[in-house]
Structure 1
Amino acid sequence: MATRPGPSLVLHRHSPQSVEILAPLRAGVATSRAALAKATGLSPSTVASRVDELIRQGHVVERGQGESKGGRRPRALEIRGDAGLVGCVDLGVDRASFGLVDFAGILVAERHVEIDIAAGPRPVLSEAVAQLVEMVAALPEAATGVIRGISVGVPGPVSTTTSRIVSPSRMPGWNGVSVAEVIQRELAVPVIVNNDANLMAAGELFGTDDQPAPPHQVFVKVGSGIGCGIVSDGQLYTGSNGWAGDISHVSVPGATAVPCSCGRTGCLDALASGNALVREMQLAGFEVAGVEAMIALAQDSHPVATGLLRGAGVMTGGVLATIVNFFNPDRLVLGGVLADSAVFVAGVRSTLYADCLPMATEQLVVEVTQHQGTGGLLGAARVFLDQVFSVEGVG
């Protein structure tokens, strides 16, 4: 993996003084020395000194002229995107997404392939590394770079204290596995691992040019399984051990006692996930290859598919109503394959507004993700880069 020569890059840690400059610069709040002085309250000379140091470290670069507000036009500052690449991996049960994101947070390449998570950690993660290496080699000459680290999302719980996968229901052979250790046998770079729904929630922090991301969000991944990630005050919240937001094993009141992989019955995942819906469809005598086929049938007004999808939305909305009443988010986002079903989304939305307190939904926005297919990659990059541009850094 080749890279253009450039200044040495500080990856391990930043001083609190540097982070104070990096935060508004990364957020786009300030893009000049003068704007940084205003945003931070620091003196212009202090800002200039810290910016010069970040330029020497290879994280910040000057690009032409900024917008003039009277007088001389300021020099525009930005994070140096070509300082490196983050290799991003979003693993699912039967498919995976791979991406390369530069240090400015721009997704420069992506790839989506079928996998079998049950093949085990060694072959799956070896294939992930091979995919990333191939993607770097395929970049145009003007965009070549080096992978500075890898950020991985997995469809199972990940302990924030040990970074190991814990009791995953759809990942046979992965319990207790350190994804970082397996990957680092093949590529000696820092590796961060997280639950896929958490990373998709972090991906929602990328707003649009005219609409910044709300600071309090709940993201719900509704695919073959159900997962949830929480953003509080603009930061991903994972709780004390990493389990915050796990609604998949919340009991659905009054529901059928369907056995769940956790050993209990009536869990949301066992009743409303994509796998559960396909099972119910097949038990009703309709052979469908997957939940995508069910969604297609519902679009043609198939009564059984429509009823199952709407029922799943109602059950999911009922569980989420408690979350919304408790957390009072600005935005609830639906992602995953079931978010492509208008019937499912309508069931979630109508139940939320029926079951929540009016004050909890007065300003609540319920919508489908703007980053379907890439949210996990963007979130993986954001989590890694947040660590890079922090006092702790990455090891």
Structure 2
Amino acid sequence: MTKSDTARPPQRHSPQNVEILTPLRSGRATSRAALAKATGLSPSTVASRVDELIRQGHVIETGQGESRGGRRPRDLTIRGDAGLVGCIDLGVDRASFGLIDFAGVLLAERHVSLDIAAGPNEVLGFAAAQIRDMIDGGSPSSSVEDSSLGEQSILRGFSVGVPGPVSTATSRIVAPSRMPGWNGVSVAEVLQREVHLPVVVNNDANLMAVGELFSGGADASANQVFVKVGSGIGCGIISRGELFTGSNGWAGDISHVSVPGAGAVPCSCGRTGCLDAMASGNALVREMQLAGHEVNSVEEMIALARDAHPLATRLIRNAGVMTGGVLATIVNFFNPDRLVLGGVLADSSVFVAGVRSTLFADCLPMATEQLSIDVTSDQRTGGLHGAARIFLDRAFSVEGVES
């Protein structure tokens, strides 16, 4: 995969182009007439800009829309085969890879076991190789036929999610709990040793939050809290339809919030009684093992709870109660429309019930009256969709993405 044949950065868009592309990408407008209404521009100006975007290969006409008494308008959409985003969603012990086109369509996906503790060079080199192999169509584990990618599908960049905090100022990983050897690492610098393309990096819970917003049927202006509870615990916040990361990128990091009444259980941050140390998947497995049960994963614990194993059920239920207790403060403060649970523990009805019951018991009635509490609709690929959305939002902005 070389820059000259299958890899090339996206071009930067002018403000005039962005003014047209934004409502097209959001679905607010799908014709020239609708674009004129959405932007306030004259029909002639819109027509001129659309024609230019078609010539540049960013927009395509897909047919005729619904007539409202006059000539039927021609539908417009973003041209998907203008490029591919290599999406990489890294977890502690597994990873997902995807190829998503510029229209946001997932063309190929791959899910593999992976040890994040192997270090950034090995893990990211492996990740780049996975994306390269998916583009080349060399593995049956891809979910599409080789020909479906098309000759015009050129890799335009990478969007990466990691299970740790990412600085919005430097894009470096900062003090991750479960990523030994990754502190201070620039994912972009490591990946660009393989291919010199733009790289966007974010926390994995943030990616799932964005993916859920656009794939879960939520209002595009929603206020949403997404909680990922797997080996660790992460949280992504959507405010008025946009990802909120705070001043440095740490917004939503609930993993080191102290659990009221918790014992002196040590946490990787050096404190005791943190939510991550008490209620994460790793914490639950540790408690089962200390009690003498041969359990190696939280999936095994969930299976035991489904079979009415008393200790597994109690531990998972308590984890839901503790998580719900921490989230109650957030719900009271932020007053979201939706609270969405993801990660492996969201597959446990016992855990979900613990979160729900605690939220309704601890929150003000006015905070939960309109609150929707859901399990993610896209557990498997939500992070990939969110990764692509974040990359494409930047690519279709005036600032663009830089190598």
Which bin holds the TM-score, normalised by the shorter protein? Answer: over 0.9
Corresponding residue for 1:375? 382
1:214: Cα distance to partner? Answer: 5.4
Structure 2 counterparts to residues 221-240 of structure 1, below 5 A = 221-240=228-247
Pair 1:277 & 2:276 matched: no
Q: 1:202 aligns with which of 210, 219, 236?
A: 210
Task: Evaluate the alpha carbon distance shift between residue 155 and residue 228 of structure 1 in structure 2; reply closer, same or farther with a 3 A threshold.
Answer: same
Corresponding residue for 1:310? 317
Pair 1:85 & 2:84 matched: yes
1:57: Cα distance to partner? Answer: 2.4
- For 2:11 and 2:337, locate their aligned partners in 1 and report how far apart those are by CA, in whole Å: 34
- For 2:220 and 2:37, locate their aligned partners in 1 and report how far apart those are by CA, in whole Å: 22
Secondary structure in structure 1 of the residue aligned to 2:213: coil
Corresponding residue for 2:363? 356
Corresponding residue for 1:171? 179
Corresponding residue for 2:119? 120
Secondary structure in structure 1 of the residue aligned to 2:214: coil
Q: 1:215 aligns with which of 219, 222, 246?
A: 222
C-alpha contact 1:214 1:331 (8 A) present in aligned 2: no
Over residues 199-226 of structure 1, what are the superposed CA-to-partner deviations in whole Å (9 max), with x where a residue is unaligned?
1111112145x76455210000000000
Which amino acid in 2 is paired with 1:196? Answer: D
- When structure 1 is superposed on structure 2, of 268-277 and 46-55 the one drifting more is 46-55
C-alpha contact 2:207 2:386 (8 A) present in aligned 1: yes
Structure 2 counterparts to residues 1-395 of structure 1, below 5 A = 11-138=10-137, 139-144=145-150, 145-207=153-215, 212-213=219-220, 215-395=222-402
Q: Which runs of 5+ in 2 are unaligned?
A: 138-144
1:140: Cα distance to partner? Answer: 2.5
- For 1:132 and 1:43, locate their aligned partners in 2 and report how far apart those are by CA, in whole Å: 43
- For 2:263 and 2:252, locate their aligned partners in 1 and report how far apart those are by CA, in whole Å: 23
1:176: Cα distance to partner? Answer: 0.7
Secondary structure in structure 1 of the residue aligned to 2:62: strand
- For 2:50 and 2:249, locate their aligned partners in 1 and report how far apart those are by CA, in whole Å: 35
- When structure 1 is superposed on structure 2, of 46-55 and 382-391 the one drifting more is 46-55
C-alpha contact 2:9 2:157 (8 A) present in aligned 1: no
1:115: Cα distance to partner? Answer: 0.8
C-alpha contact 1:214 1:330 (8 A) present in aligned 2: no
Q: Return the TM-score normalized by structure 2.
A: 0.94
- For 2:264 and 2:124, locate their aligned partners in 1 and report how far apart those are by CA, in whole Å: 36
- For 1:325 and 1:239, locate their aligned partners in 2 and report how far apart those are by CA, in whole Å: 18
Aligned length: 391
- For 1:303 and 1:86, locate their aligned partners in 2 and report how far apart those are by CA, in whole Å: 46
Secondary structure in structure 1 of the residue aligned to 2:330: helix
1:16: Cα distance to partner? Answer: 2.6
Which amino acid in 2 is paired with 1:176? Answer: G
CA RMSD of aligned residues (A): 1.8
Which amino acid in 1 is paired with 2:133? Answer: E
- For 1:268 and 1:255, locate their aligned partners in 2 and report how far apart those are by CA, in whole Å: 9
- For 2:9 and 2:38, locate their aligned partners in 1 and report how far apart those are by CA, in whole Å: 24
C-alpha contact 2:9 2:156 (8 A) present in aligned 1: no
- For 1:67 and 1:207, locate their aligned partners in 2 and report how far apart those are by CA, in whole Å: 25
Over residues 161-186 of structure 1, what are the superposed CA-to-partner deviations in whole Å (9 max), with x where a residue is unaligned?
01111111111111111100110011
- When structure 1 is superposed on structure 2, of 10-19 and 44-53 the one drifting more is 10-19
